Amino acid sequence: MTKIINWLKYYRASLIDGSRSEKNKIFSNLLQRSNSSLDSISENEMKVIWDDQKIVKFNFKPAPVTNLDDDFEALKNIPVEDDKLTEINKIEIAPVSITTVIEHGYTTGDTKLHYPFWIPAYVSKAGKLFPPKEGETPLFIRNYLEPNPRDLPTIALMEVLDKKLKNRDFNTSNWSSYWKDCEHFFKEVSGKYFKDYKDSEYHQFSICKLEESNTTRNILNLYNDLVFDKDAKKQRYPILEKVLEVKEETKNHNLSAIEIFLNPNHLGQMNGEFPLSLSQRIAFAQFTSKHNQKAFAINGPPGTGKTTILQSVIAISKNN
């Protein structure tokens, strides 16, 4: 199974490299604070950050109080859950920056700021910060991790990050705890605290719009489960084994019109509201034919009916 695990690691690393690219929508104005903790964003700063077109609403309920003694005063002070939805924007915060000297196209000695670490956050129009609620996690940009063939500064090893990410959950009960946990994670990976990157009178933070991909995050979680499972080397993945065979399988077979339109293996369908189109019937006939003994792949842009075919596959499996 070593071959399968190595391929899974390769797929995972490729996905990570693609998702950990440089941020594009960075606001030009840096936030300045006297320390390395960002507790809130001011009204003037929010005028630049807030986007009415990117409003999302969430219910931020207070964290439940536990382990109370039978003290009436303590019971009276339990916060009442607030069902009101709060309008927020999703942002990312870079608590550290590193610099390089630019030599090409600029005057030698000019410096460029790089932001190797980003913390996802939600912010209200009033500047109140909240931990994320949809599974977003802090991100190290791949360009600043070793090994790195590019001529860029690095702050940590990819190998260390992989180890620290394994089974890592973040405390999202409140903003203060979440920020401290993010800094602890940064220290685990890089060996430094946020404050170690302060190079002026103030600590500076960069803000960008959150560029999220739920699909990428979910696929990465799947790879993590497959690669880091304690019994990973004992597991068998029959579909992957077929996909990774050295001998290439014939992509398609010549089927007659009768095999396509009078398909004896088409035993069921989810419903008749969306019957299969010609191209779907051809693909479905290929899948159910006796020639298809290994892995079968269908690709196409959004809206071309891949999910509809999958429903028919599930239907015939159910009938079988």
Backbone dihedral region of 167: left (phi > 0), alpha (psi from -120 to 50 degrees) or beta? left
The reported pLDDT for the residue numbered 99 is: 83
Q: Are 155 and 295 contained in the same domain?
A: no
The reported pLDDT for the residue numbered 205 is: 95
pLDDT tens column, 121-148:
999 999 999 999 887 889 998 889 888 7
Q: Are 203 and 303 contained in the same domain?
A: no
Classify residue 305: in a domain, yes or no. Answer: yes
Q: Are 43 and 96 contained in the same domain?
A: yes
Domain range for 314: 249-319
Please say if the pLDDT value at position 10 is more than 50: yes
Q: Are 169 and 305 contained in the same domain?
A: no
Q: Are 282 and 197 contained in the same domain?
A: no
The reported pLDDT for the residue numbered 318 is: 84
Classify residue 217: in a domain, yes or no. Answer: no
* pLDDT band, residue 214 (cuts 50/70/90): low
Please say if the pLDDT value at position 70 is more than 80: no
Q: Are 81 and 34 contained in the same domain?
A: yes
**Count of structural domains within the chain:** 2
Burial class (CB in 10 A: 0-12, 13-18, 19+), 13: middle
Domain boundary among 159, 187, 210: 210
* Dist CA 40 CA 68 (whole Å): 30
Average pLDDT over residues 202-211: 90
Q: Are 206 and 300 contained in the same domain?
A: no
Please say if the pLDDT value at position 189 is more than 90: yes
Say what the alpha-carbon torsion angle 214, 217, 219, 223 is, to the nearest 10 degrees.
-170
Beta strands 145-146 and 156-157, pairing class: parallel
Yes or no: say if 89 and 163 are a contact pair by the CB < 8 Å rule: no
Global model pTM greater than 0.85: no
Q: Provide the token pair at 192.
A: 């430094």
Domain boundary among 188, 210, 232: 210
